[in-house]
Chain A
Amino acid sequence: MTAILEIDGLTKSFRGLRAVDNVSFSVDERCIFALIGPNGAGKTTMFNLIAGVFPPDIGTVRLSGKDVTGLRPDRLCAAGIGRTFQLVKPFPEMTVLENVTVGALRRATSVAAAEREAHRYLEMLELDGKTHQHAANLTLPDRKRLEVARALATQPRLLLLDEVMAGMRPTETDRMVVTLRRLRDETGLTIVLIEHVMRAVMALSERVAVLNHGEKIAEGTPQEVVADAAVLECYLGEEEL
């Protein structure tokens, strides 16, 4: 299998604090890869580095072998990276349909075509009953779904999901897991997700990397990772899994 995403020695400091410290990993095409770790471990910083919100101090990000380190977010979107935000950022004054249409306009030839595309993704994320509501009026889980639909509408090859299942009920989490797996199987998408909901991580991911204090402390299959002594100590604590 070829790697779609290769992270090499990525380091980022904020005012002397190393938020991400010499992290390397690679994600194979069509893989579902989870990034876990306690709060403040540097997971979201990691995403922001990959998605181009700010450049790393040291290290490189490669997308399908091409160096994309430090490119602007809109360029990275064009290169095939889609993302959601941990603190959701829907367009509040626009309707659900318009939100997703904005994403689809990148590749669509007309607004009408983009709207048709948008309907497809809304259906996939079970938002098709709420197309004409303003995004500001949605519940938090719905806003998270909206972010996924909007990111998908840009037709990414690599999708970065930042805690999209936080705040969802277990049944909703399971439905999201099914949706994401189906997406991967049907479109060949690669997914990297940050997640605290271990139920989803265990069910969905094929590989897991664990961050703590900005450093990668473990990587492997979900089963390997939860059995790792370092992970148990720093992250899972005394909780039995």
Chain B
Amino acid sequence: MNRPEAGARPASPTRNGAIRPIAGLSGRGHVLLAVFALFLLSVPVWGSSYIVTVGILILYLALVGQSWNLMLGFAGLLSIGHALFIGIGSYAAGYLFAKQGIPPILGVFVAVALAVLVGSIIGYLGFRFSISGVYFALLTIAFAEFARIMIDHATFLNGTQGLFLPVSAQDNKGVDLINLRGHPHMFYYLMMALALGTLGLCRWLLRSKLGYYWQAIRDDQEAAQSLGINVFRYKMYAVMISSAIAGIAGVFYAFYSNSLFPESTFAIERSIEVTLAPIVGGVSTLFGPIFGAFILTPLGEFITWVIDFLKHIGWIDPSLKLNGLKLLIWGFVVVLIVLFKPRGLWPWLRDKFALGRSDE
């Protein structure tokens, strides 16, 4: 009765009775996961400072991508305002540190609380008044824009002039987890822990009652309700958990970059950027957002490198500004993915090589 049929769920934990520490992953999946973890751990050992920087960016996108995917992929809620939650996290912890001298280890709690509060307000408005689909997405955009304009005029956050976090020369050497000051390697490992920790959290949530209810709501809200699910409450949980993760990501990003501007922090481009890795990797899968980040970020770096090279050899006028080109090419990649692999690259590879179950 428990036996899986061919083609349905390629790697059932019960197949062959083999030992599988992580149910849902095949033997090959386990090997690959181990190799991947070792690779991540070893990057700062062999990588140049440039490689580590790219690694931090990848892990950051993987983290916020998972946060976004929790809403759309699991609960069916489309957000195009995720920069809002990230930005609130950044500004809250940044302000407390730069202006009040409160270390981020405390600031992160305020940051998360604020992000969850704003997420709850958006969720309440959206779900109480049955705003769904693209209209809900518009609501998230509106709030992000609202925050951008408000912080533009907030003098205590330095408005458009930007908020700068104090750094001293020796800060880049040590490891100070309380003040989030230290060597880039510290940020790399912190981002890695957050990205992988979130993967574990999402996995646990997806296989809990919460995950079942989210997926039911995503697939058919009316049917979910007829099975006794309080749709409003479970959608709220999704927004709250997602905005909490985004808020934490925002704190770490703020202390890594040390400068915050409302125009760039809350720009819609940032919100769209968050959605790209999950779309490329595979929405509704656990590993998709991480996989997508590993495709997109190196691609973006490669594009930047090519442009610099072409400017260097004089094929492109060096004074030409091509800031948007990376996003343009990312957009092109997304178009290709949506046309040819609409479920994302990861599900395709996973099933081709029988790495794991259809939600891994």
Contact = CB atoms under 8 A, between A and B. Distances in A.
Interface of A: 51, 53, 72-74, 77-78, 82-83, 85, 89-95, 98, 101-103, 105-106, 111, 114, 119, 123, 128, 130-134, 150-151, 153-154
A119 B1 contact: yes
B216 A94 contact: yes
Given A98-B212, A102-B212, A53 B222 contact: yes
Interface string B211-239: 01101101110111111111100000000
Interface stretch (B3-11, B48-56, B273-281): B3-11
- Most central of A82, A98, A105, A111 by chain B CB within 10 Å: A105
A134 B5 CA distance: 11
B227 A90 contact: no
A50 to B, nearest CB: 11
B209 A105 contact: yes
A202 B293 CA distance: 61
Of all A-B residue pairs in the complex, the 7 with the closest CB atoms, nearest first, are: A77-B228, A91-B219, A89-B223, A73-B225, A132-B8, A106-B228, A89-B220
Contact of B229 (A53, A74, A82, A93): A74
B69 interface: no
Interface in B225-263: 225-231
Given A51-B226, A91-B216, A93-B219, 8 more contacts: A78-B228, A85-B222, A94-B216, A98-B215, A102-B224, A105-B209, A105-B212, A111-B208
Contacts of A114: 209, 212
A125 to B, nearest CB: 14
B226 A77 contact: yes
Given A93-B215, A105-B212, A154 B223 contact: no
A26 B206 CA distance: 42
Contact of A105 (B2, B8, B213): B213
B5 A133 contact: yes
Nearest to A84: B226
A93 B206 CA distance: 14
Chain B interface mostly: loop
Contacts, number: 90
A95 B215 CA distance: 11
A133 B10 CA distance: 11
B223 to A, nearest CB: 4
A102 B222 contact: no
Nearest to A89: B223
Interface in B1-58: 1-2, 4-5, 8-9, 12
Given A72-B225, A98-B212, A91 B220 contact: yes
19 contacts: A73-B225, A77-B226, A85-B222, A90-B219, A91-B216, A91-B223, A92-B220, A93-B284, A95-B9, A102-B212, A102-B215, A105-B213, A106-B227, A119-B1, A130-B5, A132-B12, A150-B227, A151-B226, A154-B227
A74 B219 contact: no
A151 B225 CA distance: 11
A123 B215 CA distance: 23
A94 B227 CA distance: 15
Nearest to A72: B225
Contact of A132 (B5, B207, B224): B5
Contacts of A51: 226
A73 B226 CA distance: 5
A113 to B, nearest CB: 11
Contacts of B216: 91, 94, 102
B281 to A, nearest CB: 17
B191 to A, nearest CB: 30
Contacts of A130: 5
A111 B228 contact: no
Nearest to A98: B212
A93 B358 CA distance: 10
A128 to B, nearest CB: 5
B301 to A, nearest CB: 34
A77 B218 CA distance: 19
Nearest to B215: A94
Interface in B171-228: 207-209, 212-213, 215-216, 218-220, 222-228
A131 B207 CA distance: 17
A92 B218 CA distance: 10
A106 to B, nearest CB: 4
Interface in B322-354: none
Contacts of B230: 74
A92 B4 contact: no
Contact of A111 (B1, B207, B222, B229): B207
Contacts of B208: 111
Contacts of A91: 215-216, 219-220, 223-224
Contacts of B222: 53, 73, 85, 89
Given A74-B229, A77-B226, A90 B220 contact: yes
A102 B209 CA distance: 8
A133 B225 CA distance: 23
A51 B220 CA distance: 16
A94 B219 contact: yes
Contacts of B215: 91, 93-94, 98, 102
Nearest to B7: A133
B35 to A, nearest CB: 28
Contact of A128 (B1, B212, B226): B1
Contacts of A93: 215, 218-219, 284
A151 to B, nearest CB: 8
